[in-house]
Structure 1
């Protein structure tokens, strides 16, 4: 295991808060921060899910973990959460991670899905940043905004997600420039595919079983994705070290480079990839991964079982086993 970056010695407890912290990547980052001696608050919409996640972190790390039921789309609720966390243990590290994943061809969805993605991921990150900033300035704190490789280039069948994550990336870079003079660092994080069990909570439209099949396979494939605990360790290291930007996974770095050097070619290649993805089968309500169904083709089922095996094993550790209100990516 690589050596963890420790926070500088302080005379008081280091306070950390993570939105979307009840499951997935947010939960793995909460474990990392708790393991490094932070008092951690995890925030999400679902109280039962939060309590289960907090109990996991306490048992595994022995750290103090608080929970906050909060909808990051509501700025007033975020303001109250930040104030309470600051008064309880101070705010030194804040990571905006709350998100949703919608997997569908664009003709199978509509403006509502884009609004949902923007409200949760972009406005959620914006509310978190603006309400945390006064407390972080007082402590020369650290802010991390979780974007995605999907925000560095438009990904077919993930367009609401890509649009919202692109906005998060721009917000992180602009805040980094403006907050530097006050001593606050802002880290833009762009992970690639990670084995967080997110395929169980993602929402699927169009041919839902086929969409579930390709997404869960890609998200768990060893050469395309990385283990969530390793990703969380890298992200927390970057935030503590006050790095401006972190891109995770070799495929994500390659995609970023290709798009930067040859954006037209990359876009055309994306078009080729889109033709290989399932076609729309009409519009209807999105289904969570647990309800989307396995691919109907037996060969496709075997491929999904192989590609997603490690991701399926991450479901319980990532607290993704129960369908519920969407809180984290």
Structure 2
């Protein structure tokens, strides 16, 4: 497919990880991009990375602080982006958080935080963007980033799974409602990707052991997908107006199996849950992956540390750490 040129794009959660790579894909297609996130310092680093590429293509990159949990902040950033870029053609709702641990340790506040950031963040982004997308001369395109965890609930990732499941329903429902206005909505459900997101995740319960399994799984080459490749596939799907895209063979297999045999898959999940860290702790403080990665007292097998290191290298490239990537 020949790429469209000179589109106006807004990417929420665009300062690091998958969001940064989605923005980079748009820049490489010659599109004008605005990224948003909550952290000004992260945004500045991300914008600098993107502008290096944009300068060679004659496109623009803007960065604006925005907390997607605040619908008025979203309304303002959408309006300002549409004004500065003479409209909006593509919006990618990617802002999110990851909480790892048993549901009891995560507690109600953990679930509420996941829903506020991911589901309501996607809802605010969608509702504020749709009036502008309907005016697009090339047909507006909205992409909402779900997860295979929203299609197949995963133990010790339940707040994330609940929020991502709601995003999937929102995307497919909005697609049906907006079709008559020429706006397409794409639900993207990535599997595990090597973005370094384990360093930004929040861990509860037996935090050190939760970090160990999550960081290892998130870095395994045969299970995970290259993050730049995932971003390319997602932007392709949005551009081509696809309804849904599920990335990685393992994610497609798991989602299909759950749809066809939910009882069997749920029983398998029961076995998986027994292998995960057993913590009876109730609600408590969570620990960021950054702190756990730097804990020299944490005993981890050498093979586990080696696999995690693959993902930590990705984190430096995709702005997941305080160090600037390339």
TM-score range, shorter chain: over 0.9
User: Which whole-Å CA distance do the structure 2 matches of 1:137 and 1:287 have between them?
Assistant: 42
> Out of 74, 85, 88, which is 2:70 matched to?
74
> Out of 110, 113, 136, which is 1:113 matched to?
110
SS at 1:138 equivalent:
coil
| Residue matched to 2:21 | 28
Contact 2:27 2:53 survives alignment (8 Å): no
User: Which whole-Å CA distance do the structure 2 matches of 1:322 and 1:289 have between them?
Assistant: 13
Q: 1:97/1:261 Cα in 2 relative to 1: closer, same or farther (>3 Å)?
A: same
Q: How does 1:195-206 map to 2 (within 5 A)?
A: 195-206=194-205
Q: 1:106/1:38 Cα in 2 relative to 1: closer, same or farther (>3 Å)?
A: same
| Residue matched to 1:150 | 149
Structure 1 residue 297, shift from structure 2 partner = 7.2
SS at 2:218 equivalent:
helix
Q: 1:142/1:28 Cα in 2 relative to 1: closer, same or farther (>3 Å)?
A: same
Q: Does 1:40 align with 2:33?
A: yes
Q: Is there any run of 5+ residues in structure 2 with no aligned partner, and where?
A: none
Q: How does 1:4-153 map to 2 (within 5 A)?
A: 5-9=1-5, 13-62=6-55, 63-89=59-85, 90-139=87-136, 140-153=139-152
Contact 2:54 2:61 survives alignment (8 Å): no
Q: Which runs of 4+ in 1 moved over 6 A?
A: none
Number of aligned residues: 315
Q: 1:239/1:48 Cα in 2 relative to 1: closer, same or farther (>3 Å)?
A: same
Contact 1:22 1:43 survives alignment (8 Å): yes
TM-score, normalised to structure 2, is 0.93
The root-mean-square deviation of aligned C-alpha atoms, in Å, is 1.5
User: Which whole-Å CA distance do the structure 1 matches of 2:249 and 2:3 have between them?
Assistant: 27
**Cα deviations by residue, 1:164-204 (Å, 9 ceiling, x for unpaired):** 00000000000011111111000000000001110110000
| Residue matched to 2:190 | 191
Q: Is there any run of 5+ residues in structure 1 with no aligned partner, and where?
A: 324-329
| Residue matched to 1:274 | 273
User: Which whole-Å CA distance do the structure 1 matches of 2:218 and 2:306 have between them?
Assistant: 12
SS at 1:110 equivalent:
helix
**Cα deviations by residue, 1:63-112 (Å, 9 ceiling, x for unpaired):** 41101100001111101111000001121000000000000111212100
